């Protein structure tokens, strides 16, 4: 596994030129494409769905697509994103009635599975599912809107989660989402 992966969100792209913008970011060195999917229920914003993922695959994007679901209920849309070409699907435990079942659904759909922890979500939620995770995504802003400032406490949470991952002995990727800029990426 590569030590660092750059996975910019397509929400910053020009949607009239989404395929071109996405390819340009990948050509510039991005490794993955990050999809922020919001339903205006779990978070107070509305973004994109599986059709956009499918359109990027049809355009010729072959890089891994990292789908971050900020929707509730979450299980209904997982197979749609898997069919559309998602590589990794992450979700917030607060959006699932049965976290273990949702992780299983993602894997059964052919994708890697991960959990997203909000800044205030306690780490104990990971205790019973570490063996099912391919990724843990830590929100370094409160979810729902782009352009927020990085929450510094995320650095401490990152260290604690890294320790949990190492203790588990599993190959689990740790992703930081929100407020990552040139002036703070080295700390992260």
* Residues noted as catalytic: 36, 177
Residues 41, 139: Cα–Cα separation, whole Å:
18
pTM: 0.92
Phi-psi region of 15 (alpha: psi -120 to 50; beta: other; left: phi over 0): alpha
From first to last of its 188 residues, what are the pLDDT tens digits of the chain? 558 888 988 988 999 999 999 999 999 999 999 999 999 999 988 999 999 999 999 999 999 999 999 999 999 999 999 999 999 999 999 999 999 999 999 999 999 999 999 999 999 999 999 999 999 999 888 877 666 787 788 889 999 999 999 999 999 999 988 767 677 677 76
Could you tell me which CATH number the domain at 10-177 has? 3.20.20.70
| CA angle centred on 9, ends 120 and 106, rounded to 5° | 70
Rounded to whole angstroms, the Cα distance separating 157 from 147 reads 21
Domain chopping of the chain, boundaries:
10-177
Q: How far is CA 45 from the centre of its chain?
A: 16
Is 78 within 8 Å of 55 (Cβ atoms)?
A: no
Would you state the pLDDT for residue 149?
80
The total of other beta-carbon atoms located within 10 Å of residue 132's CB is: 18
């Amino acid at each position: 596994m590569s030590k660092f992966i750059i996975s910019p969100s397509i929400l910053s792209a020009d949607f009239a030129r989404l395929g071109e913008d996405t390819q340009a970011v990948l050509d510039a060195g991005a490794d993955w494409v990050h999809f922020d999917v919001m339903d205006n229920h779990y978070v107070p914003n509305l973004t994109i769905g599986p059709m956009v993922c499918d359109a990027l695959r049809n355009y010729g994007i072959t890089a891994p697509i990292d789908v971050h679901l900020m929707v509730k209920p979450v299980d209904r849309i997982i197979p749609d994103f898997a069919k559309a070409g998602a590589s990794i699907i992450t979700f917030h435990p607060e959006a699932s009635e049965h976290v273990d079942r949702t992780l299983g659904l993602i894997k059964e759909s052919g994708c890697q599975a991960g959990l997203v922890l909000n800044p205030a979500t306690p780490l104990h939620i990971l205790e019973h599912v570490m063996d099912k995770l391919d990724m843990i995504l830590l929100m370094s802003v409160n979810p729902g809107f782009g352009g927020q400032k990085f929450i510094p406490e995320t650095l401490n949470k990152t260290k604690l989660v890294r320790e949990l991952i190492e203790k588990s002995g599993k190959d689990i990727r740790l992703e930081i989402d929100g407020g990552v800029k040139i002036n703070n990426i080295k700390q992260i």
